[in-house]
Amino acid sequence: MRIAGRILYWLAAVTLVAAILSSLDYSPAQAMLVGLIFCPCSLALEYWMPKARKPMDKVYLSLAVLVSVILVILFLHHSVWVTLTQEGYSRPERDVAPMLVNPAFLGLVLTALAIGDYFWSKWLVARFQAKGKSVTFFSERKSVTLPVADIAYVESNDTEVRIVTVSGDAYRNKTGITQWENLLGEGFLRIHRSFLVNASMASLTSPDTLSVLDKTLPVSRKYKESVKAAFPSPEVPNGHGL
């Protein structure tokens, strides 16, 4: 159901972009083709941006996506349109609309679509998550399927993550921890840039730590408020809670 939901989102997004282009005197075929360009580019932006650790990496990624969009749009206008026109599916070749080579406009559309998909995906996970659901991923080139309830926590080590189960087994995977946070859903709590825990298996041991499977994990300042809301404050020597 979540896959169908995301497909519906992108169909609606492409249709909306095509409707905007139709107002610029593009034919339906031209408008849909240009609209389809934004789908993979927005997904690339959504997937890779959380992996970019440094600010300049985010800048380079944004520029790469923008340049890719502009190059494909120019290719469509000066090559593909000719073929479509000969086949009778398109109006005669036309100049590129100024909006479609405007980095500010393209960046706005790409960002809006990526953010929309991010929040739509989170809603789908929360809406359709089932207690007995499983997750399938690749670890060391092998497909692994685990019940979500068996995952104790996910640990990020920059280039990869470790998925640790209740039994203590650990699996390596290349998917970023932010994507795992979206995939696993509401039952899992982000406590640190490097840790995502199964809230039902965790307990607060101090204002700055959680315990999961007898392992003490740090709680960073950024996530203290959400951890405080999820767990009652423990008794600590100075009498202060989280």
pLDDT tens-digit map of 28-69 = 877 888 888 888 888 888 888 877 778 888 889 889 999 999
State the residue range of the domain holding 73: 2-128
- As a whole number of angstroms, the distance between CA 170 and CA 168 comes to 6
User: 11 with 119, same domain?
Assistant: yes
Boundary (domain end) residue, out of 95, 128, 161: 128
- Cβ burial, residue 30 (10 Å; 0-12/13-18/19+): buried
Whole-number mean pLDDT of the chain? 82
User: 71 with 90, same domain?
Assistant: yes
Question: Which residue is it, tokens 């405080």?
Answer: 228
pLDDT at 80 over 80: no
User: 157 with 225, same domain?
Assistant: yes
pLDDT at 242 over 60: no
Boundary (domain end) residue, out of 106, 128, 150: 128
Q: Is 42 helix (H, G, I), strand (E, B) or coil?
A: helix
Nearest residue to 137 (alpha-carbon basis) of 188, 171, 187? 171
Is residue 120 within 8 A of residue 51, CB to CB? The reply is no
- The sign of the dihedral angle between the CA atoms of 107, 44, 74, 59 is positive
User: 142 with 186, same domain?
Assistant: yes
Cα 185–Cα 135–Cα 120 angle in degrees, nearest 5: 40
Q: Number of folded domains in the chain? A: 2
pLDDT at 23: 85
pLDDT at 207 over 90: no
The string of pLDDT tens digits covering residues 126-181 is 666 545 578 889 998 889 999 888 999 999 987 899 999 998 899 999 999 988 98
One-letter amino acid at 93 equals E
Does any domain span residue 6? Answer: yes
Q: How confident is the model at residue 238 (pLDDT cuts 50, 70, 90)?
A: very low
Does any domain span residue 25? Answer: yes
pLDDT at 86 over 80: no
